[in-house]
């Protein structure tokens, strides 16, 4: 329940943010881009480290509902880092240029909108929103404020996916007709069994603030530190991993999204109280557009895969297959020069008549050098140690400095999140879901 104290704090924070918006500093080429982090978990901490590696950046403030993470932020990034349980206090600071939002999913849209209204640029972890209804207000806020907003699915900044995009446009696999995408895991941490600190309690955690607009429950530390396991705060495997696959594929193909989504699956192994599946499959229909032919997409996430973690894509075309993993591999088999025949059961005279007509249409030819092909597939690998996560943050910081648009803006982000959220809807309601990828709405 929202108390009067919470209301006053939120109102005061909004007022301070409005003042800050009118007092934003101009970033000169020699200035640091000063960033703040809201949500100091594993992903948020990794985002900060990537932003600091970009160079010309400085972390000045963090916010989290757990005091231990605020303490560790000072230990890790310096005692001068401002800390608060209340993100509004961070947004009110005029020394903050850009905000990294790595909260649980159910806070993404609210913090993003508040940050842009406060004059801050935004890097928001995927999925951009937790519910379909939350997407359009984020897009509208970005358009109204003119702030830079980039969603955190790093494949759109990857040189690996850019190479795949170039190869596909060159027609190396002919006209593709199907895409397979998967992300399988076989570990407790991979299945979101994150560690819970021994000092976790309502004294060290702002439980009411964590819950926000989610359905309220009695305090449960698992819900704070393993929030991905619960529909109240997260988006399950679809929002955590399908959305990465949608983002990468949409970038490679230039697609706006599918028109139909159907998902199935279940909780097969990690029966730990979670209310989301640990195995999910989805099928999607993509219509023909100016950018690509009609094709079908098959998605899979399996948290009980008996092998090591693996993920990737297979783009299947009429002339070959392009696979994306740690690099790009193109496998091609030349199409047959003639269709062949099955005439052994015909009468001899009929066979002769058939062969006469067949050879008039397909004359016998001696093999030529052109018919020879290499035994090995074509492979394209990135430099050793390459990080698309770092490149994604480089692109964001560059956009903050230059004010040039990013690829994965709120519209792109919602077009990836939308079908992922529909996969959840399809799974839980056991029905197929229709989607308008241009208008970005369920139909």
Contacts of 338 (CB under 8 A, 6+ apart): 362
pLDDT tens per residue, range 152-183: 999 999 999 999 999 999 999 999 999 999 99
* Beta-strand runs (E) in 176-218: 176-184
How far is Cα 189 from Cα 229, in angstroms, rounded to an integer? 12
How far is Cα 64 from Cα 76, in angstroms, rounded to an integer? 15
Q: 46 and 190 in contact (C-beta within 8 Å)?
A: no
The SS3 assignment for 311 reads strand
Q: 63 and 83 in contact (C-beta within 8 Å)?
A: yes
How far is Cα 229 from Cα 270, in angstroms, rounded to an integer? 10
Query: Could you give the domains of the chain?
Result: 4-154+393-402 (3.40.50.720), 157-334+371-381+408-442 (3.30.360.10)
Please name which of 334, 53, 367, 24 lies closest in space to residue 173, comparing C-alpha atoms.
334
pTM: 0.92
With residue 331 as reference, give the H or E element that holds it.
Answer: strand 328-331
Q: 152 and 128 in contact (C-beta within 8 Å)?
A: no
pLDDT tens per residue, range 328-370: 999 988 778 899 999 999 999 999 999 999 999 999 988 777 6
pLDDT tens per residue, range 416-425: 999 999 999 9
Asked whether residue 50 carries a pLDDT value surpassing 90, the answer given is yes
Contacts of 373 (CB under 8 A, 6+ apart): 332, 333, 334
How far is Cα 315 from Cα 253, in angstroms, rounded to an integer? 10
pLDDT tens per residue, range 80-135: 999 999 999 999 999 999 999 999 999 999 999 999 999 999 999 999 999 999 99
- Residue 400 in tokens: 């903050």
Asked whether residue 73 carries a pLDDT value surpassing 80, the answer given is yes
């Amino acid at each position: 329940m929202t108390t009067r104290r919470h209301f006053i704090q939120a109102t005061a924070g909004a007022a301070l943010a409005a003042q800050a918006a009118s007092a934003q500093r101009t970033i000169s080429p020699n200035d640091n881009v000063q960033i703040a982090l809201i949500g100091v978990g594993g992903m948020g901490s990794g985002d900060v480290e990537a932003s600091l590696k970009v160079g010309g950046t400085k972390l000045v403030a963090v916010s989290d509902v757990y005091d231990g993470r605020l303490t560790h932020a000072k230990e890790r990034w310096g005692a001068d880092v401002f800390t608060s349980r209340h993100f509004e206090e961070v947004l009110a600071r005029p020394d903050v240029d850009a905000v990294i939002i790595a909260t649980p999913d159910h806070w993404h849209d609210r913090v993003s909108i508040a940050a842009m209204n406060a004059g801050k640029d935004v890097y928001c972890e995927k999925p951009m929103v937790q519910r379909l209804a939350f997407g359009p207000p984020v897009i509208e806020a970005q358009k109204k404020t003119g702030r830079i907003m980039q969603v955190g699915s790093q494949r759109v900044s990857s040189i690996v996916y850019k190479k795949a995009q170039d190869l596909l446009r060159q027609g190396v696999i002919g006209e593709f007709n199907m895409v397979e995408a998967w992300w399988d895991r076989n570990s407790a941490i991979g299945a979101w069994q994150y560690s819970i600190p021994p000092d976790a309690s309502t004294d060290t955690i702002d439980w009411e603030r964590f819950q926000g607009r989610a359905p309220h429950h009695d305090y449960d530390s698992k819900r704070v530190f393993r929030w991905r396991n619960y529909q109240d705060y997260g988006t399950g495997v679809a929002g955590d991993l399908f959305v990465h696959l949608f983002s990468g594929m949409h970038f490679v193909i230039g697609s706006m999204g599918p028109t139909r989504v159907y998902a199935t699956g279940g909780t097969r192994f990690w029966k730990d109280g979670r209310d989301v599946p640990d195995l999910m499959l989805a099928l999607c229909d993509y219509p023909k557009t100016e950018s690509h032919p009609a094709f079908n997409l098959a998605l899979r996430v399996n948290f009980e895969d008996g092998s090591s973690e693996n993920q990737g894509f297979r783009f299947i075309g009429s002339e070959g297959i392009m696979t994306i993993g740690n690099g790009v591999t193109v496998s091609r088999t030349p199409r047959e020069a003639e269709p062949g025949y099955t005439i052994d059961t015909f009468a001899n005279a009929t066979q002769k008549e058939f062969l006469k007509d067949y050879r008039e249409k397909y004359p016998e030819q001696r093999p030529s050098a052109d018919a020879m092909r290499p035994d090995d597939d074509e492979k394209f690998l990135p430099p050793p140690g390459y990080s698309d996560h770092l490149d994604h943050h480089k692109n964001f910081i560059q956009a903050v400095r230059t004010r040039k648009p990013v690829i994965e803006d709120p519209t792109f982000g919602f077009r990836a999140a939308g079908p992922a959220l529909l996969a959840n809807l399809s799974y839980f309601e056991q029905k197929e879901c229709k989607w308008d990828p241009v208008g970005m709405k369920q139909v």
